[in-house]
Chains A and B, each alone.
Chain A
Protein backbone atom coordinates (compact mmCIF):
# COMPACT_ATOMS: atom_id res chain seq x y z
CA UNK A 1 0.00 0.00 0.00
CA UNK A 2 1.30 3.45 -0.95
CA UNK A 3 -0.10 6.76 0.28
CA UNK A 4 0.47 10.21 -1.15
CA UNK A 5 0.29 13.09 1.33
CA UNK A 6 -0.04 16.57 -0.14
CA UNK A 7 2.00 19.16 1.71
CA UNK A 8 0.60 22.36 3.17
CA UNK A 9 3.08 25.19 2.61
CA UNK A 10 3.47 28.74 1.35
CA UNK A 11 6.37 28.00 -1.03
CA UNK A 12 8.81 28.86 1.75
CA UNK A 13 7.78 27.02 4.87
CA UNK A 14 6.25 23.62 5.35
CA UNK A 15 3.25 23.80 7.69
CA UNK A 16 2.59 21.60 10.67
CA UNK A 17 -0.67 20.47 9.05
CA UNK A 18 1.52 18.31 6.80
CA UNK A 19 3.12 16.52 9.76
CA UNK A 20 -0.33 15.84 11.21
CA UNK A 21 -1.60 14.49 7.93
CA UNK A 22 1.41 12.16 7.82
CA UNK A 23 0.35 10.82 11.22
CA UNK A 24 -3.11 10.04 9.80
CA UNK A 25 -1.50 8.34 6.80
CA UNK A 26 0.78 6.30 9.06
CA UNK A 27 -2.27 4.99 10.91
CA UNK A 28 -3.55 3.58 7.59
CA UNK A 29 -0.29 1.66 7.15
CA UNK A 30 1.93 1.61 4.08
CA UNK A 31 4.59 3.67 2.36
CA UNK A 32 4.15 7.42 2.59
CA UNK A 33 5.35 9.89 -0.02
CA UNK A 34 4.90 13.63 0.23
CA UNK A 35 3.97 15.81 -2.70
CA UNK A 36 5.17 19.39 -2.59
CA UNK A 37 3.43 21.33 -5.34
CA UNK A 38 4.31 25.00 -5.63
CA UNK A 39 6.82 27.46 -7.04
CA UNK A 40 10.35 27.82 -5.69
CA UNK A 41 9.84 25.05 -3.16
CA UNK A 42 13.43 23.85 -2.59
CA UNK A 43 13.33 24.68 1.12
CA UNK A 44 9.91 23.10 1.55
CA UNK A 45 11.20 19.91 -0.07
CA UNK A 46 14.11 19.78 2.38
CA UNK A 47 11.76 20.29 5.32
CA UNK A 48 9.39 17.60 4.06
CA UNK A 49 12.26 15.12 3.69
CA UNK A 50 12.82 15.32 7.45
CA UNK A 51 9.34 14.15 8.44
CA UNK A 52 9.58 10.80 10.17
CA UNK A 53 8.24 7.84 8.23
CA UNK A 54 8.32 9.44 4.79
CA UNK A 55 9.73 7.39 1.90
CA UNK A 56 10.07 9.92 -0.94
CA UNK A 57 9.42 13.60 -1.40
CA UNK A 58 8.04 14.45 -4.83
CA UNK A 59 7.98 18.03 -5.98
CA UNK A 60 6.41 19.86 -8.84
CA UNK A 61 7.88 23.34 -9.10
CA UNK A 62 6.04 25.54 -11.56
CA UNK A 63 4.55 29.01 -11.81
CA UNK A 64 1.05 27.57 -12.32
CA UNK A 65 1.31 25.99 -8.86
CA UNK A 66 2.38 29.08 -6.95
CA UNK A 67 -1.14 29.42 -5.47
CA UNK A 68 -2.01 25.73 -5.75
CA UNK A 69 -5.15 26.55 -7.70
CA UNK A 70 -7.64 23.77 -8.26
CA UNK A 71 -7.11 22.91 -11.90
CA UNK A 72 -3.32 22.74 -11.73
CA UNK A 73 -3.38 20.65 -8.54
CA UNK A 74 -5.82 18.27 -10.19
CA UNK A 75 -3.57 17.95 -13.21
CA UNK A 76 -0.55 17.11 -11.04
CA UNK A 77 -2.22 14.65 -8.68
CA UNK A 78 -4.61 12.64 -10.84
CA UNK A 79 -1.91 10.98 -13.04
CA UNK A 80 0.27 10.33 -9.98
CA UNK A 81 -2.53 8.27 -8.46
CA UNK A 82 -1.78 5.31 -10.73
CA UNK A 83 1.05 4.65 -8.25
CA UNK A 84 -0.92 5.18 -5.05
CA UNK A 85 -3.78 3.62 -3.12
CA UNK A 86 -4.72 6.78 -1.28
CA UNK A 87 -4.16 10.52 -1.27
CA UNK A 88 -4.45 12.53 1.93
CA UNK A 89 -4.39 16.29 2.40
CA UNK A 90 -5.13 18.62 5.32
CA UNK A 91 -8.66 20.03 5.31
CA UNK A 92 -7.51 23.63 4.84
CA UNK A 93 -9.17 25.73 2.15
CA UNK A 94 -6.26 25.09 -0.24
CA UNK A 95 -6.88 21.36 -0.32
CA UNK A 96 -10.66 21.41 0.19
CA UNK A 97 -10.69 23.33 -3.07
CA UNK A 98 -9.21 20.70 -5.37
CA UNK A 99 -9.46 17.34 -3.57
CA UNK A 100 -13.06 16.70 -4.74
CA UNK A 101 -11.85 17.31 -8.29
CA UNK A 102 -9.23 14.61 -7.81
CA UNK A 103 -11.86 12.26 -6.38
CA UNK A 104 -14.24 12.93 -9.28
CA UNK A 105 -11.56 12.24 -11.89
CA UNK A 106 -10.66 8.98 -10.13
CA UNK A 107 -14.38 8.19 -9.83
CA UNK A 108 -14.19 7.72 -6.08
CA UNK A 109 -16.17 9.25 -3.24
CA UNK A 110 -14.09 11.64 -1.16
CA UNK A 111 -13.96 11.14 2.59
CA UNK A 112 -13.85 14.62 4.11
CA UNK A 113 -12.35 15.93 7.35
CA UNK A 114 -11.52 12.68 9.07
CA UNK A 115 -10.79 12.78 12.79
CA UNK A 116 -9.82 9.15 13.15
CA UNK A 117 -8.38 6.22 11.18
CA UNK A 118 -9.75 2.74 11.92
CA UNK A 119 -7.95 0.95 9.10
CA UNK A 120 -6.77 1.66 5.56
CA UNK A 121 -10.35 2.04 4.30
CA UNK A 122 -12.30 2.91 7.42
CA UNK A 123 -12.39 6.37 8.96
CA UNK A 124 -14.19 8.41 11.60
CA UNK A 125 -15.53 11.81 10.65
CA UNK A 126 -17.90 14.38 12.17
CA UNK A 127 -21.24 14.99 10.48
CA UNK A 128 -24.06 17.40 11.36
CA UNK A 129 -21.70 20.00 12.81
CA UNK A 130 -20.00 17.38 14.93
CA UNK A 131 -23.23 16.37 16.68
CA UNK A 132 -22.67 12.88 15.34
CA UNK A 133 -19.54 10.91 14.54
CA UNK A 134 -19.76 8.59 11.55
CA UNK A 135 -17.51 5.60 11.08
CA UNK A 136 -17.42 5.08 7.33
CA UNK A 137 -15.86 2.39 5.17
CA UNK A 138 -14.86 3.14 1.62
CA UNK A 139 -15.62 0.55 -1.03
CA UNK A 140 -13.59 2.40 -3.64
CA UNK A 141 -10.32 1.08 -5.01
CA UNK A 142 -8.53 4.27 -4.02
CA UNK A 143 -9.13 6.67 -1.16
CA UNK A 144 -9.27 10.45 -1.42
CA UNK A 145 -9.24 11.82 2.12
CA UNK A 146 -9.02 15.23 3.76
CA UNK A 147 -7.78 15.33 7.32
CA UNK A 148 -9.00 17.46 10.24
CA UNK A 149 -5.50 18.17 11.46
CA UNK A 150 -6.52 19.22 14.99
CA UNK A 151 -7.38 15.54 15.59
CA UNK A 152 -3.87 14.22 14.92
CA UNK A 153 -0.47 14.78 16.53
CA UNK A 154 2.36 15.99 14.34
CA UNK A 155 4.83 13.40 13.06
CA UNK A 156 8.39 14.01 14.20
CA UNK A 157 11.31 15.26 12.13
CA UNK A 158 13.76 12.40 12.39
CA UNK A 159 13.46 11.25 8.79
CA UNK A 160 15.70 11.62 5.78
CA UNK A 161 13.67 10.86 2.68
CA UNK A 162 15.04 11.38 -0.80
CA UNK A 163 13.53 14.07 -2.97
CA UNK A 164 12.95 14.41 -6.68
CA UNK A 165 11.28 16.90 -8.96
CA UNK A 166 8.61 15.77 -11.40
CA UNK A 167 7.48 17.15 -14.75
CA UNK A 168 5.61 20.46 -14.90
CA UNK A 169 1.87 20.56 -15.44
CA UNK A 170 1.09 21.69 -18.96
CA UNK A 171 -2.21 23.53 -18.69
CA UNK A 172 -3.69 25.69 -20.08
CA UNK A 173 -6.10 26.37 -17.25
CA UNK A 174 -9.44 28.10 -17.34
CA UNK A 175 -8.92 29.99 -14.12
CA UNK A 176 -6.23 32.44 -13.12
CA UNK A 177 -5.07 34.07 -9.94
CA UNK A 178 -5.86 37.78 -9.73
CA UNK A 179 -4.87 38.83 -6.23
CA UNK A 180 -5.30 38.33 -2.53
CA UNK A 181 -6.05 40.27 0.61
CA UNK A 182 -4.43 38.37 3.43
CA UNK A 183 -4.86 39.18 7.08
CA UNK A 184 -1.46 40.35 8.28
CA UNK A 185 -0.70 39.27 11.80
CA UNK A 186 2.21 38.47 14.06
CA UNK A 187 -0.04 36.29 16.15
CA UNK A 188 0.12 32.51 15.96
CA UNK A 189 -1.91 30.80 13.28
CA UNK A 190 -5.45 30.09 14.50
CA UNK A 191 -5.52 26.34 13.88
CA UNK A 192 -2.07 25.75 15.40
CA UNK A 193 -2.18 28.13 18.39
CA UNK A 194 -1.94 26.86 21.98
CA UNK A 195 -4.36 29.54 23.13
CA UNK A 196 -7.24 31.04 21.15
CA UNK A 197 -9.22 34.08 22.30
CA UNK A 198 -12.46 34.51 20.33
CA UNK A 199 -14.96 37.32 20.33
CA UNK A 200 -18.58 37.29 19.23
CA UNK A 201 -21.43 39.63 18.53
CA UNK A 202 -21.31 40.73 22.16
CA UNK A 203 -18.07 42.59 21.45
CA UNK A 204 -20.20 45.06 19.54
CA UNK A 205 -17.89 46.67 16.99
CA UNK A 206 -14.60 46.45 15.13
CA UNK A 207 -13.14 49.09 17.46
CA UNK A 208 -14.17 47.16 20.54
CA UNK A 209 -12.44 44.08 19.18
CA UNK A 210 -9.20 45.72 20.29
CA UNK A 211 -9.86 44.55 23.85
CA UNK A 212 -10.03 40.94 22.58
CA UNK A 213 -6.80 41.45 20.66
CA UNK A 214 -5.07 43.01 23.66
CA UNK A 215 -5.94 40.02 25.81
CA UNK A 216 -4.79 37.67 23.07
CA UNK A 217 -1.46 39.46 22.77
CA UNK A 218 -0.90 39.26 26.51
CA UNK A 219 -1.44 35.49 26.28
CA UNK A 220 0.47 35.01 23.03
CA UNK A 221 -2.79 33.73 21.61
CA UNK A 222 -4.45 33.65 18.22
CA UNK A 223 -7.67 35.61 17.74
CA UNK A 224 -10.84 33.92 16.57
CA UNK A 225 -14.46 34.96 16.15
CA UNK A 226 -18.00 33.74 15.73
CA UNK A 227 -19.79 34.02 12.41
CA UNK A 228 -21.86 36.88 13.78
CA UNK A 229 -18.70 38.89 14.51
CA UNK A 230 -17.40 38.23 10.98
CA UNK A 231 -20.74 39.00 9.31
CA UNK A 232 -20.93 42.27 11.23
CA UNK A 233 -17.50 43.21 9.90
CA UNK A 234 -15.71 43.30 13.27
CA UNK A 235 -12.99 40.98 11.93
CA UNK A 236 -12.05 39.34 8.60
CA UNK A 237 -13.62 36.08 7.42
CA UNK A 238 -10.55 33.98 8.18
CA UNK A 239 -11.15 34.50 11.93
CA UNK A 240 -14.33 32.42 11.87
CA UNK A 241 -14.28 29.36 14.10
CA UNK A 242 -16.97 26.73 13.57
CA UNK A 243 -18.69 24.16 11.42
CA UNK A 244 -18.20 26.23 8.31
CA UNK A 245 -15.08 28.10 9.38
CA UNK A 246 -11.98 26.73 11.07
CA UNK A 247 -11.75 23.89 13.54
CA UNK A 248 -9.46 24.59 16.46
CA UNK A 249 -8.42 22.49 19.45
CA UNK A 250 -6.05 24.58 21.56
CA UNK A 251 -5.02 24.01 25.17
CA UNK A 252 -7.15 27.01 26.11
CA UNK A 253 -10.11 28.47 24.22
CA UNK A 254 -11.76 31.64 25.49
CA UNK A 255 -15.21 32.47 24.10
CA UNK A 256 -16.07 36.07 24.86
CA UNK A 257 -19.49 37.49 24.02
CA UNK A 258 -20.30 34.29 22.11
CA UNK A 259 -23.61 32.54 22.79
CA UNK A 260 -22.48 29.03 21.82
CA UNK A 261 -24.54 28.11 18.75
CA UNK A 262 -24.21 24.52 17.46
CA UNK A 263 -22.21 25.78 14.50
CA UNK A 264 -19.71 27.58 16.70
CA UNK A 265 -19.31 24.67 19.13
CA UNK A 266 -18.50 22.40 16.17
CA UNK A 267 -15.26 24.28 15.68
CA UNK A 268 -13.98 24.50 19.25
CA UNK A 269 -15.45 21.84 21.50
CA UNK A 270 -12.36 19.66 21.26
CA UNK A 271 -10.30 22.33 23.00
CA UNK A 272 -8.69 21.15 26.22
CA UNK A 273 -9.91 23.92 28.52
CA UNK A 274 -12.80 26.18 27.53
CA UNK A 275 -13.52 29.49 29.21
CA UNK A 276 -16.68 31.48 28.53
CA UNK A 277 -17.29 35.09 29.45
CA UNK A 278 -20.89 36.09 28.84
CA UNK A 279 -23.32 38.34 30.61
CA UNK A 280 -26.20 35.93 30.02
CA UNK A 281 -25.94 33.09 32.52
CA UNK A 282 -28.31 31.01 30.36
CA UNK A 283 -26.03 31.19 27.29
CA UNK A 284 -25.48 27.68 25.84
CA UNK A 285 -21.73 28.25 25.76
CA UNK A 286 -21.71 27.63 29.52
CA UNK A 287 -22.82 24.04 28.88
CA UNK A 288 -19.44 23.25 27.35
CA UNK A 289 -17.25 25.67 29.29
CA UNK A 290 -14.93 24.33 31.97
CA UNK A 291 -14.87 27.78 33.55
CA UNK A 292 -17.71 30.21 33.06
CA UNK A 293 -17.70 33.81 34.13
CA UNK A 294 -21.04 35.59 34.06
CA UNK A 295 -19.96 39.17 33.52
CA UNK A 296 -19.98 42.15 31.23
CA UNK A 297 -17.08 41.53 28.91
CA UNK A 298 -16.19 45.22 28.78
CA UNK A 299 -15.38 45.05 32.47
CA UNK A 300 -14.09 41.50 32.75
CA UNK A 301 -11.75 41.37 29.74
CA UNK A 302 -9.63 44.45 30.59
CA UNK A 303 -9.52 43.26 34.19
CA UNK A 304 -8.35 39.84 33.07
CA UNK A 305 -5.76 41.34 30.79
CA UNK A 306 -4.42 43.46 33.61
CA UNK A 307 -4.29 40.48 35.97
CA UNK A 308 -2.04 38.41 33.69
Chain B
Protein backbone atom coordinates (compact mmCIF):
# COMPACT_ATOMS: atom_id res chain seq x y z
CA UNK B 1 0.00 0.00 0.00
CA UNK B 2 1.34 3.41 -1.00
CA UNK B 3 0.72 6.10 1.57
CA UNK B 4 0.77 9.87 1.03
CA UNK B 5 1.10 12.28 3.96
CA UNK B 6 0.58 16.00 3.40
CA UNK B 7 2.34 18.22 5.94
CA UNK B 8 2.18 21.95 6.56
CA UNK B 9 4.71 24.28 8.11
CA UNK B 10 2.90 26.46 10.63
CA UNK B 11 3.54 28.81 13.52
CA UNK B 12 4.75 26.59 16.39
CA UNK B 13 1.91 25.63 18.70
CA UNK B 14 3.72 27.11 21.71
CA UNK B 15 3.96 30.56 20.12
CA UNK B 16 1.10 33.00 20.55
CA UNK B 17 0.07 34.51 17.21
CA UNK B 18 0.50 38.30 16.96
CA UNK B 19 -1.70 40.33 14.71
CA UNK B 20 0.14 42.79 12.44
CA UNK B 21 -0.45 46.47 13.13
CA UNK B 22 -1.80 47.05 9.61
CA UNK B 23 -4.41 44.29 10.18
CA UNK B 24 -3.22 42.41 7.09
CA UNK B 25 -2.61 39.15 8.93
CA UNK B 26 -0.53 37.43 11.57
CA UNK B 27 3.14 38.30 11.95
CA UNK B 28 5.24 35.32 10.88
CA UNK B 29 8.59 37.13 10.63
CA UNK B 30 11.26 35.71 12.94
CA UNK B 31 8.96 33.39 14.84
CA UNK B 32 9.40 29.69 15.42
CA UNK B 33 7.74 27.54 12.78
CA UNK B 34 7.13 23.80 13.05
CA UNK B 35 5.24 20.97 11.46
CA UNK B 36 1.50 21.20 12.13
CA UNK B 37 1.05 18.91 15.18
CA UNK B 38 -1.74 16.90 13.56
CA UNK B 39 0.57 16.25 10.60
CA UNK B 40 3.20 14.87 12.97
CA UNK B 41 0.57 12.38 14.06
CA UNK B 42 -0.08 11.51 10.39
CA UNK B 43 3.64 11.01 9.76
CA UNK B 44 3.96 8.82 12.83
CA UNK B 45 1.04 6.71 11.65
CA UNK B 46 2.61 6.26 8.22
CA UNK B 47 5.91 5.19 9.72
CA UNK B 48 4.14 2.68 11.96
CA UNK B 49 2.29 1.27 8.96
CA UNK B 50 5.61 0.91 7.21
CA UNK B 51 7.15 -0.82 10.22
CA UNK B 52 4.16 -3.16 10.39
CA UNK B 53 4.60 -4.03 6.72
CA UNK B 54 1.21 -2.56 5.80
CA UNK B 55 2.67 0.38 3.88
CA UNK B 56 5.09 -0.40 1.07
CA UNK B 57 6.07 3.18 0.40
CA UNK B 58 5.51 6.36 2.39
CA UNK B 59 5.65 9.72 0.64
CA UNK B 60 5.51 13.09 2.37
CA UNK B 61 4.39 16.21 0.49
CA UNK B 62 4.42 19.82 1.57
CA UNK B 63 2.99 22.68 -0.43
CA UNK B 64 4.62 25.90 0.66
CA UNK B 65 7.65 28.17 0.63
CA UNK B 66 11.29 27.06 0.34
CA UNK B 67 11.42 26.55 4.10
CA UNK B 68 8.72 23.86 3.85
CA UNK B 69 11.64 21.62 2.85
CA UNK B 70 12.69 21.60 6.50
CA UNK B 71 9.27 20.24 7.42
CA UNK B 72 9.64 17.53 4.78
CA UNK B 73 13.09 16.68 6.19
CA UNK B 74 11.55 16.32 9.63
CA UNK B 75 9.08 13.77 8.28
CA UNK B 76 11.88 11.94 6.47
CA UNK B 77 13.89 11.88 9.69
CA UNK B 78 10.91 10.35 11.46
CA UNK B 79 11.15 7.52 8.95
CA UNK B 80 9.25 8.31 5.78
CA UNK B 81 10.75 7.23 2.45
CA UNK B 82 10.77 10.25 0.18
CA UNK B 83 9.46 13.75 -0.18
CA UNK B 84 7.76 16.02 -2.68
CA UNK B 85 7.98 19.76 -2.30
CA UNK B 86 5.44 21.80 -4.22
CA UNK B 87 6.94 25.24 -3.93
CA UNK B 88 4.83 28.35 -3.66
CA UNK B 89 5.07 31.50 -1.58
CA UNK B 90 1.30 31.87 -1.53
CA UNK B 91 -0.57 30.50 1.46
CA UNK B 92 -2.85 28.25 -0.56
CA UNK B 93 -6.41 27.62 0.52
CA UNK B 94 -7.49 24.06 1.38
CA UNK B 95 -9.43 23.86 -1.89
CA UNK B 96 -6.29 24.45 -3.97
CA UNK B 97 -4.22 22.18 -1.73
CA UNK B 98 -6.76 19.39 -2.15
CA UNK B 99 -6.63 19.79 -5.94
CA UNK B 100 -2.85 19.47 -5.98
CA UNK B 101 -3.04 16.46 -3.67
CA UNK B 102 -5.61 14.86 -5.94
CA UNK B 103 -3.25 15.18 -8.88
CA UNK B 104 -0.45 13.65 -6.81
CA UNK B 105 -2.62 10.78 -5.60
CA UNK B 106 -3.38 9.97 -9.21
CA UNK B 107 0.14 10.28 -10.59
CA UNK B 108 1.69 8.36 -7.68
CA UNK B 109 -1.07 5.72 -7.54
CA UNK B 110 -1.65 6.30 -3.81
CA UNK B 111 -3.89 3.94 -1.80
CA UNK B 112 -4.16 5.85 1.45
CA UNK B 113 -3.85 9.51 2.41
CA UNK B 114 -3.49 10.42 6.08
CA UNK B 115 -3.88 14.15 6.72
CA UNK B 116 -4.20 16.18 9.90
CA UNK B 117 -7.77 17.02 10.88
CA UNK B 118 -6.87 20.70 10.84
CA UNK B 119 -3.87 22.98 10.55
CA UNK B 120 -3.50 25.05 13.68
CA UNK B 121 -2.99 28.29 11.73
CA UNK B 122 -6.06 28.58 9.52
CA UNK B 123 -8.14 26.17 11.64
CA UNK B 124 -10.19 25.34 8.54
CA UNK B 125 -10.37 21.58 8.92
CA UNK B 126 -11.20 21.12 5.26
CA UNK B 127 -8.35 19.66 3.19
CA UNK B 128 -8.72 15.94 3.96
CA UNK B 129 -12.46 15.75 3.33
CA UNK B 130 -12.22 17.93 0.23
CA UNK B 131 -9.61 15.57 -1.18
CA UNK B 132 -11.74 12.52 -0.39
CA UNK B 133 -14.72 14.04 -2.20
CA UNK B 134 -12.65 15.03 -5.24
CA UNK B 135 -11.32 11.48 -5.49
CA UNK B 136 -14.72 9.90 -4.81
CA UNK B 137 -13.12 8.11 -1.85
CA UNK B 138 -14.55 7.30 1.57
CA UNK B 139 -13.09 9.04 4.60
CA UNK B 140 -12.45 8.42 8.27
CA UNK B 141 -12.05 11.84 9.86
CA UNK B 142 -10.87 12.64 13.41
CA UNK B 143 -9.24 9.20 13.71
CA UNK B 144 -8.60 7.81 17.17
CA UNK B 145 -7.46 4.41 15.88
CA UNK B 146 -7.06 2.58 12.56
CA UNK B 147 -7.21 -1.11 11.83
CA UNK B 148 -6.63 -2.79 8.48
CA UNK B 149 -8.43 -5.92 7.31
CA UNK B 150 -8.05 -7.14 3.73
CA UNK B 151 -9.11 -4.33 1.43
CA UNK B 152 -10.89 -2.38 4.13
CA UNK B 153 -9.93 -0.04 6.90
CA UNK B 154 -11.80 0.38 10.17
CA UNK B 155 -11.48 3.80 11.76
CA UNK B 156 -12.59 4.78 15.23
CA UNK B 157 -13.50 8.46 15.12
CA UNK B 158 -13.56 11.10 17.87
CA UNK B 159 -17.02 12.65 17.61
CA UNK B 160 -18.94 15.07 19.81
CA UNK B 161 -20.80 12.30 21.59
CA UNK B 162 -17.84 9.96 22.09
CA UNK B 163 -16.40 7.50 19.59
CA UNK B 164 -17.86 6.25 16.33
CA UNK B 165 -16.49 3.38 14.26
CA UNK B 166 -16.76 3.29 10.47
CA UNK B 167 -15.48 0.79 7.95
CA UNK B 168 -14.03 2.16 4.73
CA UNK B 169 -13.20 0.39 1.52
CA UNK B 170 -9.73 1.25 0.24
CA UNK B 171 -8.45 3.53 -1.19
CA UNK B 172 -9.43 6.09 1.45
CA UNK B 173 -8.57 9.32 3.24
CA UNK B 174 -8.05 9.43 6.99
CA UNK B 175 -7.68 12.58 9.09
CA UNK B 176 -5.88 12.35 12.40
CA UNK B 177 -7.03 13.37 15.84
CA UNK B 178 -4.86 13.85 18.91
CA UNK B 179 -5.21 10.39 20.41
CA UNK B 180 -4.23 8.35 17.32
CA UNK B 181 -0.62 8.03 18.43
CA UNK B 182 2.26 9.85 20.07
CA UNK B 183 4.73 11.02 17.44
CA UNK B 184 8.34 9.97 17.95
CA UNK B 185 11.33 12.25 18.02
CA UNK B 186 13.75 11.73 15.18
CA UNK B 187 17.05 10.25 16.33
CA UNK B 188 20.30 11.88 15.32
CA UNK B 189 21.30 9.02 12.97
CA UNK B 190 17.89 9.23 11.32
CA UNK B 191 18.23 12.99 10.92
CA UNK B 192 21.55 12.36 9.13
CA UNK B 193 20.01 9.64 6.99
CA UNK B 194 17.10 11.91 6.08
CA UNK B 195 19.48 14.38 4.48
CA UNK B 196 20.14 11.83 1.76
CA UNK B 197 16.53 10.93 1.07
CA UNK B 198 15.19 12.37 -2.19
CA UNK B 199 12.86 15.38 -2.34
CA UNK B 200 11.18 16.02 -5.69
CA UNK B 201 10.80 19.72 -6.52
CA UNK B 202 7.50 20.76 -8.10
CA UNK B 203 5.31 23.82 -8.48
CA UNK B 204 1.51 24.13 -8.49
CA UNK B 205 1.70 24.80 -12.25
CA UNK B 206 3.10 21.27 -12.76
CA UNK B 207 -0.29 19.96 -11.72
CA UNK B 208 -2.30 22.38 -13.85
CA UNK B 209 -4.16 23.55 -10.77
CA UNK B 210 -5.58 27.05 -10.57
CA UNK B 211 -4.55 28.22 -7.11
CA UNK B 212 -6.09 31.69 -7.23
CA UNK B 213 -7.64 32.41 -3.82
CA UNK B 214 -11.40 32.30 -3.52
CA UNK B 215 -11.43 34.20 -0.29
CA UNK B 216 -10.00 37.64 0.41
CA UNK B 217 -9.00 38.65 3.87
CA UNK B 218 -10.59 42.00 4.59
CA UNK B 219 -8.75 42.40 7.87
CA UNK B 220 -7.27 40.47 10.75
CA UNK B 221 -7.77 41.92 14.21
CA UNK B 222 -7.00 41.10 17.82
CA UNK B 223 -9.73 39.17 19.58
CA UNK B 224 -11.60 41.02 22.28
CA UNK B 225 -9.21 41.09 25.18
CA UNK B 226 -10.18 39.60 28.51
CA UNK B 227 -8.58 41.35 31.41
CA UNK B 228 -7.43 39.46 34.44
CA UNK B 229 -9.94 39.72 37.24
CA UNK B 230 -9.29 39.42 40.92
CA UNK B 231 -7.82 36.75 43.13
CA UNK B 232 -10.19 35.69 45.85
CA UNK B 233 -8.90 34.81 49.31
CA UNK B 234 -10.76 31.57 49.93
CA UNK B 235 -13.77 29.45 49.02
CA UNK B 236 -16.38 31.54 50.89
CA UNK B 237 -15.14 34.65 49.07
CA UNK B 238 -15.47 32.81 45.76
CA UNK B 239 -19.00 31.69 46.55
CA UNK B 240 -19.96 35.24 47.53
CA UNK B 241 -18.50 36.65 44.31
CA UNK B 242 -20.35 34.15 42.14
CA UNK B 243 -23.60 34.91 43.95
CA UNK B 244 -23.09 38.62 43.32
CA UNK B 245 -22.48 37.85 39.63
CA UNK B 246 -25.74 35.93 39.63
CA UNK B 247 -24.20 32.88 37.98
CA UNK B 248 -24.92 30.41 40.79
**Residue B52 lies at the interface, judged by CB distance under 8 Å to chain A:** no
Taking a contact as CB atoms under 8 Å apart, the answer to whether A195 and B214 are in contact is no
When distances are taken between beta carbons in the complex, the residues of chain B under 8 Å from A126 are 123, 223
The number of inter-chain residue pairs (CB within 8 angstroms) is 269
B235 to chain A, nearest CB (A): 5
Q: Contacts A103-B126, A238-B160, A293-B238 known; A135 to B179 CB distance under 8 Å?
A: no
- Across the interface, B138 reaches (CB within 8 A) one of A92, A175, A244, namely A175
Interface of A is mostly: mixed
**Residue B107 lies at the interface, judged by CB distance under 8 Å to chain A:** no
Per-residue interface assignment for chain B, residues 160 to 179, with 1 indicating a CB less than 8 Å from any chain A CB and 0 otherwise: 11111111110010000111
Taking a contact as CB atoms under 8 Å apart, the answer to whether A238 and B159 are in contact is yes
When distances are taken between beta carbons in the complex, the residues of chain A under 8 Å from B126 are 99-100, 103, 109-110, 112
B211 to chain A, nearest CB (A): 11
Which of B13, B121, B144, B229 counts the most A-chain CB atoms under 10 A from its CB? B229
A135 to chain B, nearest CB (A): 4
**Residue A12 lies at the interface, judged by CB distance under 8 Å to chain B:** no
**Residue B196 lies at the interface, judged by CB distance under 8 Å to chain A:** no
Q: Contacts A137-B218, A227-B178 known; A175 to B167 CB distance under 8 Å?
A: yes
- Across the interface, A103 reaches (CB within 8 A) one of B26, B95, B245, namely B95
Taking a contact as CB atoms under 8 Å apart, the answer to whether A293 and B247 are in contact is no
When distances are taken between beta carbons in the complex, the residues of chain A under 8 Å from B189 are none
In A277-294, the 8 Å CB interface with B consists of 281, 286-294
Q: Contacts A231-B179, A263-B13, A269-B226 known; A136 to B158 CB distance under 8 Å?
A: no
Taking a contact as CB atoms under 8 Å apart, the answer to whether A94 and B221 are in contact is no
- Across the interface, B220 reaches (CB within 8 A) one of A133, A179, A272, namely A133
Taking a contact as CB atoms under 8 Å apart, the answer to whether A273 and B247 are in contact is yes
Taking a contact as CB atoms under 8 Å apart, the answer to whether A139 and B94 are in contact is no
Interface size grouping (class) on chain B: 35 or more
Per-residue interface assignment for chain A, residues 235 to 249, with 1 indicating a CB less than 8 Å from any chain B CB and 0 otherwise: 011100001101000
- Across the interface, A127 reaches (CB within 8 A) one of B26, B95, B177, namely B26
- Across the interface, A134 reaches (CB within 8 A) one of B14, B94, B120, B217, namely B217
**Residue A56 lies at the interface, judged by CB distance under 8 Å to chain B:** no
When distances are taken between beta carbons in the complex, the residues of chain A under 8 Å from B214 are 108-109, 138-140
Taking a contact as CB atoms under 8 Å apart, the answer to whether B11 and A93 are in contact is no
Q: Contacts A96-B125, A180-B161, A237-B158 known; A293 to B178 CB distance under 8 Å?
A: no
Query: A100-B130, A105-B134, A238-B158 given. 9 additional CB < 8 A pairs?
Result: A128-B17, A129-B120, A132-B220, A134-B219, A135-B218, A179-B165, A230-B178, A236-B162, A291-B230
- Report 27 cross-chain contacts, Cβ distance below 8 Å, ordered by A residue: A70-B129, A96-B125, A100-B125, A101-B133, A103-B130, A104-B98, A109-B93, A110-B124, A112-B126, A128-B123, A130-B223, A134-B217, A136-B215, A138-B215, A175-B172, A180-B162, A180-B163, A183-B162, A191-B160, A237-B158, A238-B159, A238-B160, A244-B117, A246-B160, A263-B13, A281-B231, A291-B229
4 smallest A-B Cβ distances: which pairs?
A128-B17, A290-B229, A101-B133, A175-B138
- The chain B residues found within 8 Å of chain A, CB to CB, are 11, 13-14, 16-19, 25-26, 38, 93-95, 98, 117-118, 120-134, 137-142, 144, 154, 157-169, 172, 177-179, 213-223, 226, 228-232, 234-236, 238-239, 241-242, 245, 247-248
